[in-house]
Amino acid sequence: MDKIKLAFFDAKDYDKNSFIKSNINEEFEINYYDTRLTEETVRLAEGYDVVCVFVNDDINRKVIDSLTKMNVKLVALRCAGYNNVDIEYAYEKIHVVRVPAYSPYAVAEHAMALLLTSIRRIHKAYIRTKDFNFSLSGLTGFDLHGKTVGVVGTGKIGRIFIDICRGFGMHVIAYDKFPAEGSGIEYVSLDELWERSDIISFHCPLTDENRHMVNEDSIAKMKKGVVLINTSRGALIDAEALVEGIKQRKVGAACLDVYEEESNVFFHDYSNHIVDDDTLARLISMPNVIVTSHQAFLTEEALTNIADTTLDNVKEFFAQEYSKNEICYKCPDVANCMQEHGKKCF
């Protein structure tokens, strides 16, 4: 049997290393491209069976049409989120698979790491002591014990984050469009979550419905000094509204691993360049904002799971009549579809 050919976009060294280890028997022919998959770069997929993409690749209508014309059979997402894919337009044109869970612990733990770093001023202390400045002035934080944390999204990552928060003695409330029955989680409305939470952490996929769920109106309902954590998708938060909320002292701190305009910035080294995004520049310059560049997933365990699951998805797709990790807009709940129909989506 001929090897399945994969065009791997937005490839980084850590991606290559994990996929090379997973493809140790060389069942697949994989070519790695540093560039993202866009309308301008889609021609690189000519002659391949599969395109393997990540969160900032743009699989829009024009890209889907081009892939279809080139007879590419499959879009293999090496991530859980799929808001960068026009799922509805892809239906009956090209199949899409994803990695539904690579390491929920990695993301949940990173969210807590950001929170602790922020409220205990660890990042500032680290910089000071590098200069042999051992003053404690300006480093006062606050206890997590007894605080109320609002968790938006109670899938695997959200529930693990809840467990971590409970370990700190925090009171947890949550919002989810599809509550986890029998979980013992106290579910509330979004408005109540905004109003009661000292800390709010986002662990939900991005949809048209929740885009900019954090905006001028919702920030106005929050407690003064609220801490926001986002390790999910950047566009859940209106960045301009966040800046204003911080300037008005309404938002006490922001811990961001994602940013709505990150696609042309994150995963690249711009240390010797001027970044044109004024909103991002303002956020980074604020002393109560921590930004990491979509790093939450980045553990050895997660990278191994991503590589193994992605290649298993590809193998399953070409060998069987269905793929358990296929997604399409026809499924009743695309985020939780268990492929009960037992076949490919079309």
- Look-up: residue for tokens 């599969």? 50
Catalytic residue of the set 110, 233, 260, 326: 233
Q: Which pLDDT value is given to residue 12?
A: 95
Q: pTM of this prediction?
A: 0.89
Q: Which pLDDT value is given to residue 320?
A: 86
Q: Which domains does the chain have, with CATH numbers?
A: 4-102+299-336 (3.40.50.720), 104-291 (3.40.50.720)
Q: Which of 275, 283, 276 shows the shortest CA–CA distance to 257?
A: 283
Q: Which pLDDT value is given to residue 340?
A: 61
Query: Rounded to an integer, what is the distance from CA 226 to the centroid of its chain?
Result: 22
**In this structure, what are the phi and psi dihedrals at residue 240, rounded to the nearest 5 degrees?**
-65, -40
233 catalytic? Reply is yes
Catalytic residue of the set 95, 98, 110, 262: 262
Q: CA end-to-end span of the chain, whole Å?
A: 25
Alpha carbon distance 303, 289 (integer Å)? 27
Q: Which pLDDT value is given to residue 211?
A: 96
Is residue 192 a contact partner of residue 200, using CB atoms and an 8 Å limit? no
Q: Which pLDDT value is given to residue 1?
A: 58
262 catalytic? Reply is yes
For the sheet with 251-256, list strands across it.
171-175, 148-152, 199-202, 226-230, 251-256, 289-291
Residue 49 DSSP label? S
Q: Which pLDDT value is given to residue 332?
A: 59
Alpha carbon distance 3, 49 (integer Å)? 10
Q: Which residues of the chain have pLDDT under 70?
A: 1, 331-342
Is residue 245 a contact partner of residue 228, using CB atoms and an 8 Å limit? no
Catalytic residue of the set 36, 78, 294, 326: 294
Question: 333 exposed, middle or buried (CB, 10 Å; 0-12, 13-18, 19+)?
Answer: exposed
| Coil vs helix vs strand at 289 | strand
Helical spans, DSSP H, in 10-155: 13-22, 61-69, 87-90, 104-119, 122-130
Q: Which pLDDT value is given to residue 328?
A: 78
- Can you count the helices (H) and strands (E) in the chain? 11, 11
